[in-house]
Amino acid sequence: MTQKDLAGLRSGHVEDLLLDRLDDLIEGMASPGANEHLRFARQVMTHAAINPSADEAKEQARVYLVKLRERMLRDNEQYRQTVRSAAEGADTDAQLNAYATMFRERGLSSDTSINVDFAVE
């Protein structure tokens, strides 16, 4: 499904699609096999004291993941506001400082590699 396809759907239908995909993710975490991404997602759940293999914990996993998604959306909106505010300012140093510090509260990200910080000679 493309962005164009999603744009043509009513918002309730988009939310239903997202929840269906979330249920697929939870099912995948219950039996991740050799899938590295599902194994990582399962570790995140286990760290939150949720066992995605247990039928009674599937709703708990769903609620937890929906809350993480909501937090991500709030964070992204905050980043957009920071960028807009920085772009409106005339002070270049203040702009650079805003860009340099906008992720200071983010912590580690599962999609970030430390290797990009090292030069290869």
How sure is the predictor about 115, in pLDDT bands with cuts at 50, 70 and 90? low
Answer yes or no: is 116 within a domain: no
Answer yes or no: is 121 within a domain: no
More confident residue, 5 or 21: 21
Answer yes or no: is 108 within a domain: no
Answer yes or no: is 68 within a domain: yes
Q: Where are the beta strands (DSSP E) in the chain?
A: none
Answer yes or no: is 85 within a domain: yes
**Contact, 86 vs 98, CB < 8 A?**
yes
pLDDT for the residue numbered 3? 64
Structurally, the chain folds into a number of domains equal to 1
Written as six digits, the tokens of 34 are: 């050799």
pLDDT for the residue numbered 88? 84
pLDDT 10s digits, 36-74? 999 999 999 999 999 989 988 999 999 999 998 898 889
Quote the mean pLDDT of the chain.
Answer: 82
pLDDT for the residue numbered 91? 82
Residue 27 has pLDDT above 90, yes or no: yes
Rounded to the nearest angstrom, the gap between the alpha carbon of residue 79 and the centroid of all alpha carbons in its chain is: 14
Answer yes or no: is 111 within a domain: no
How sure is the predictor about 117, in pLDDT bands with cuts at 50, 70 and 90? low
How sure is the predictor about 35, in pLDDT bands with cuts at 50, 70 and 90? very high
- Domain span at residue 51 reads 9-101
Answer yes or no: is 114 within a domain: no
What whole-number distance in Å separates Cα of residue 89 and Cα of residue 54?
52
